[in-house]
Amino acid sequence: MKTGSRLRALECRACCTQADSTRVTGTCPTCGHALFAVYDTSRLDGSSWWSGLSDRPTTLWRYRELLPVQESANITTLGEGGTPILDLGEVPNAPGLRVMAKDDGVIPTGSFKARGMAVAVSRARELGLRELFVPSAGNAGTALAAYSARAGLTARVYLPERTPEPMKRAVRSYGAEVVEVPGTIREAGETARIREKGRGSFDMSTLREPYRVEGKKTMGFEIVEQTGTEGLPDAILYPTGGGTGLVGMAKAFRELRTLGLLDRIPRLYAVQPEGCAPVVRALVDGAPKVTPWPNPRTIAPGLLVPAPFSSERILEAIRETRGGGVTVSDREILQAMRDLATRHGVSASPEAAAPYAALPKLLQNGALRPGERVLVYLTGTGLTFSLEDLERSLSP
């Protein structure tokens, strides 16, 4: 059966090149920047489509017309999407804010990475790819391993040696090959692309293929659908490593606005650790792109990205929503993990806890204002992390 996808082409926002979406394509053939899916919505009645979603299963595939997979038989799913938004009420360290949290820690494989990989692996399967690889800090590798197993594809995951052992075991448990690399995800990516050259495999790295961001944009669709336009948050705080989530949500809001379904867009805020904050630094400096962060260090492995690819698109997503960025310390992240667990009953990874830790800082500097609705995006579960081990890692 046809999905009804309105996919029309792939487009580079840097040089405006359009590429054929029916062919296997990574980055822009003209300038090497990220490519993005473009949809023909000229004959899609936005209001009817949106109202009809309530009759569909509560997975991200409910938005299939604005996703790239053409044939239902190629959809590779573990039931991803439809994660809850929790009302956290007033947070003691950030009085006056109305705080809610969207918890992607309950999604298959334990993190929001399942959204992107579900769509990207499904499209890879549809285009006839058989071998996939990715450099990862852990969660993306786990998601690629799981969805590749589901689709019957071969997966290799390049992990920094310092990746927590539970994450390495998780990747291997799905049958994927793990290649450990000294350094950060930057070195893992460089090693992966050298070793995979000529093997016929396909790079599933963040923004180096066009379809992971399509899965990530469903975060934005779900926020609008779950809160309604009247309850839409004024600001969304997002932990930023590779930055695809910010790019995806901004894309979702643009598409909904084009369909006449949205007239106000939440401000997007990047939250990064003090020891690795290339996006926040670029925002402060007014730079068009990031420069690599020297000697990166943090307890949050998913945020240890010293130079995210296609950073121009990350900065664009933040700036076009009139958002911003802020850093938090590792100790603040650790305390936020404790507070989320003991005060709200929510298990959050270090990455996921970072936005919660940022609330008082953004309130104090005036970026957030009393009375505003603020959504912190919890990107992953903390069940694979030991608070005691993290605490010891902070000790001098």
Residue 394 pLDDT = 85
Do 371 and 225 have their domain in common?
A: yes
Decide if 2 is inside a domain: no
Supply the CATH number for residue 286's domain. Answer: 3.40.50.1100
Q: How many domains does the chain have?
A: 3
* pTM for the whole structure: 0.96
Do 189 and 283 have their domain in common?
A: no
Please choose, from the candidates 262, 263, 268, 254, the residue with its C-alpha nearest in 3D space to the C-alpha of residue 225.
262
Do 166 and 138 have their domain in common?
A: yes
Examine the fold and report which residue of 175, 203, 231 is the final residue of a domain before the chain moves on. 203
Decide if 79 is inside a domain: no
What is the number of residues in the chain? 396
Residue 396 pLDDT = 62
Decide if 286 is inside a domain: yes
Do 282 and 254 have their domain in common?
A: yes
Do 52 and 153 have their domain in common?
A: no
Do 106 and 131 have their domain in common?
A: no
Per-residue H/E/C for 19-37: ECCCCCCCCCCCCCCCEEE
Do 188 and 277 have their domain in common?
A: no
Do 174 and 298 have their domain in common?
A: no
Do 223 and 106 have their domain in common?
A: yes
Q: Extract the residue ranges of the chain whose pLDDT is less than 70.
A: 395-396
Residue 280 pLDDT = 98
Residue 90 pLDDT = 84
Per the structure, the complete domain to which residue 158 belongs is given by: 113-203
Do 134 and 62 have their domain in common?
A: no
Positive/negative CA dihedral, 133, 162, 245, 312? negative
- Strand stretches in 63-218, DSSP E: 85-91, 94-103, 131-135, 154-160, 177-181, 202-203
Examine the fold and report which residue of 203, 232, 253 is the final residue of a domain before the chain moves on. 203
Tell me the β-bridge partners of 377.
102
Decide if 93 is inside a domain: yes
Decide if 290 is inside a domain: yes
Residue 304 pLDDT = 94
Quick one: tokens of 133? 């690889």
